[in-house]
């Protein structure tokens, strides 16, 4: 069974977390299922960047990002070469998968209120 390691995030996961995760499940769903309230303004439909994560270990185990995901990632705050949308990234079959949740997100709907 793969493990999702979440690096500490000041608001969402101050102590970090190690989660036994189901292979093939989206990283976003794994986070949400374990009480880590990552934003997902588009309801996980690959239409925003609020669930952006940076993959620190295990990036090569992921399927390639779609053109749509790549286009959206270009708009994400704190983009890095190993950035992915957590709603699109699926847990690998085994091993440790390490992600960092960026400090900020760009949420136009939230910013307009």
Residue ranges of domains in the chain: 3-111
| pLDDT tens digits for range 24-75 | 999 999 999 999 999 999 999 999 999 999 999 999 999 999 999 999 999 9
Mean pLDDT score of the chain: 91
User: Can you tell me the distance from the alpha carbon of 21 to that of 27, in angstroms, rounded to the nearest whole number?
Assistant: 9
Contact call for residues 17 and 5 (beta carbons, < 8 A): yes
The pLDDT value given to residue 67: 97
Domain 3-111 part of CATH 3.10.20.30: yes
Tell me how far apart the 2 most distant CA atoms of the chain are, in Å: 42
């Amino acid at each position: 069974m793969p493990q999702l390691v979440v690096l500490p995030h000041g608001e969402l996961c101050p102590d970090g977390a190690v989660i036994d995760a189901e292979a093939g499940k989206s990283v976003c769903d794994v986070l949400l299922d374990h009480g880590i309230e990552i934003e997902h303004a588009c309801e996980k439909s690959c239409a925003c960047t609020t669930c952006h994560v940076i993959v620190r270990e295990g990036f090569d185990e992921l399927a390639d990002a779609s053109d749509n995901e790549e286009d959206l990632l270009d708009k994400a705050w704190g983009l890095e070469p190993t950035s992915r949308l957590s709603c699109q990234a699926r847990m690998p079959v085994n091993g440790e998968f390490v992600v960092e949740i960026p400090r900020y997100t760009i949420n136009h709907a939230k910013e307009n209120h």
